[in-house]
Amino acid sequence: MSSGFQVLFGARMHNGDERPTEIYYSIGGMLTLNTNKVLPRGGLTKKLADEMKMPANLLPEFSLSDAEAAVTSANTGGDHLTSNHVRN
């Protein structure tokens, strides 16, 4: 628990889904890319955290649209070979 993190990825793909979604969960909550929102839903509540002798961890709700714009250029400080590979 002092370093690192764990990621779990699951996917269901099939024909006929009229409302596709992309949702990522963590102990802090969920990120839903359909609405570009971070929500505390699914995060580590006080009740469950107390049972594991851990602090609760719920992110505040916010919109990614309100956050600082992401850097999307190919050169984000990497070496020139990496930048050229990304541009390619």
For residue 16, is it within any domain? no
The C-alpha atoms of residue 66 and residue 83 are separated, in whole angstroms, by 28
Query: Is the overall model pTM greater than 0.75, yes or no?
Result: no
- Whether pLDDT at 68 is above 70: no
Q: Is residue 43 part of a domain?
A: yes
Domain total in the chain: 1
Alpha helices in the chain (DSSP H): 46-51, 80-87
Q: What is the pLDDT of residues 29-50, one digit of tens each?
A: 998 888 889 999 988 999 999 9
**How many Cα atoms occupy the beta-carbon half-sphere of 59 within 13 Å?**
17
Asked whether residue 13 is domain-assigned, the answer is: no
pLDDT value, residue 41: 92
Dihedral, CA atoms, 42, 50, 8, 62, nearest 10 degrees?
Answer: 40
Tell me what the mean pLDDT of segment 21-33 comes to.
86
Residue 53 lies in domain: 23-87
Give the residue with greater pLDDT, 65 vs 52. 52
> Mean pLDDT score of the chain, rounded to an integer?
79
Report if residue 4 sits inside a domain.
no
